[in-house]
Structure 1
Amino acid sequence: MHSPPVVVVMGVSGTGKTTVGPLLADRLGVPYAEADDFHPPANIAKMSAGIPLDDEDRLPWLDAIGAWARDHADRGGVVSCSALKRGYRDRLRAANPEAVFLHLTGDRPTVAERMKARTGHFFSDRMLDSQLATLEPLEPDENGMALDISPEPEAIAERAAAELRRRAAQK
């Protein structure tokens, strides 16, 4: 690929965004950023208390991720971000119109089991239902792809990289 895009690895918590994201970035030879690192302390405190964020909480966070995506438009990058609503993705696309969204999908029992197995993360599996209710899957007019989380993370990253290369070759 001549100019890798910025890829936003999206999905509800527990789908493997922070596992697949760095693997994909490595395959594409681009930097990786973890969206959780863009949250202000107040957001982390709220989520740690089991309180879902509202849209007002998310706007500065999305704008910070969007700034990163804009700054990496010419060299590409991968950033993990739940990007659950179309409006959130539209806000990120406003910062980088060429961004590609990789939606990691899985059924509730699989995601819940993964969340229970995690340690050292501020997000609780109690909030999974809130995220699933909020999730608006990619629409046909959005630049992106959905991949199931059942395969090993390396296989998911390789499949995503192959699809991105195929798309770049068609341009």
Structure 2
Amino acid sequence: MTGEWRGDAPPTRHVVVMGVSGAGKTTVARGISAATGLAFAEADEFHSPANVARMRSGVPLDDTTRWPWLRDIAAWIADRGAEGRSTVLACSALKRSYRDVLRQGSPRLDFVHLAGPAEVIRARMARREGHYMPASLLESQLATLEPAHPDESVLVLDVSLAPEALVAAAIEGLDLGASRRPDPRRSMLG
């Protein structure tokens, strides 16, 4: 089973950097990956073309459109765990029920929630280029966001911090720095 000891191999670790669009999830998850060797994936890459078209046109996703996407991400986590590879993923994971689906990929799934003022996030969204998620959907994401419950493993970090500080805080807060080395097989979705 993923997350348990297999012979001499340490248990795999799986981390989801979560939050609303524009919070810096991808930047922080890539930073964690670079510093620890955890295999990185961007949840946006798992969206169907129909979901991307919907968001690009300014229509928020609903639960019906999210469930298959979340199940695909959980399967990716499970597959990497079966290979003995630890992962870090950038994914909104806005609701408890969404996080529960992601947990089906690994019993040892930690979350890093990049949280902060909407004004800071809105300003970041206005500066980024080439992303299909328009700033107009930020309000729907903020309305959907459910804070972590006490029984969830969620490290909350202030989105106002510099990306390097967020990466360092995540690595320290989740104790990811110990004996990690880069995985030469690591790739974006590999």
Aligned to 1:45: 53
Alignment partner of 1:134 is 2:132: no
Q: What one-letter code is carried by the residue in structure 1 that aligns with 2:28? A: V
1:59 corresponds to which residue?
67
Given that 2:39 and 2:87 are in contact with CA atoms closer than 8 Å, whether structure 1 keeps it comes out as yes
Which amino acid counterpart does residue 52 of structure 1 have in structure 2?
Answer: P
Instruction: Give the match's secondary structure for 2:104.
Output: helix
Secondary structure, aligned partner of 1:70: helix
- 2:175 partner SS: helix
Aligned-partner Cα distance in 2 for 1:29–1:166: 10
State the shift of 1:4 in Å. Answer: 4.9
Residue 97 of structure 1 aligns to a residue in which SS? coil
TM-score by structure 1 length? 0.93
**2:12 is the counterpart of 1:19:** no
- The match for 1:103 is 113
1 or 2, which has the higher helix percentage? 1
Alignment of 1:121 with 2:121, yes or no, is no
Q: Deviations over 1:38-85 (max 9, x none)?
A: 000000000000000010100111011101111222321101110000
Q: Rg: which structure is higher?
A: 2
User: Structure 1 counterpart of 2:85, which letter?
Assistant: R
**Amino acid aligned to 2:162:** E
Whether 1:81 and 2:70 are equivalent positions in the alignment is no
Q: What amino acid maps onto 2:142 in structure 1?
A: L
**Is residue 29 of structure 1 aligned with residue 37 of structure 2?**
yes
Question: What is the percentage of aligned positions where both structures have the same residue?
Answer: 49
Q: CA deviation at 1:116?
A: 0.7
Code of the residue aligned with 1:5 in structure 2: it is: R
Paired residue secondary structure (1:8): strand
Aligned equivalents of 2:74, 2:91: Cα separation in 1: 10
Instruction: Say which is worse superposed, 8-17 or 159-168, in terms of deviation.
Output: 159-168
Q: Deviation digits for residues 134-158 of structure 1, max 9, x if unmatched?
A: 0001111001211011111111011
CA distance, structure 2, for counterparts of residue 22 and residue 51 of structure 1:
28
Structure 2 spans left out of the alignment, 5+ residues: 1-9, 179-190
Cα displacement string for residues 77-119 of structure 1 (whole angstroms, at most 9, x for unaligned residues): 1011100000000011122121111110110100111111111
Q: Distance in 2 between matches of 1:85 and 1:166?
A: 25
- Do the aligned partners of 1:101 and 1:143 also contact (CA within 8 Å) in 2? yes
| C-alpha separation in 2, matches of 1:57 and 1:5 | 28
| TM-score of the pair, normalised by structure 2 | 0.84
Q: The residue matched to 1:95 in structure 2 has which SS?
A: coil
Letter in 1 for 2:134: S
Letter in 2 for 1:135: L
Q: Which runs of 5+ in 1 are unaligned?
A: none
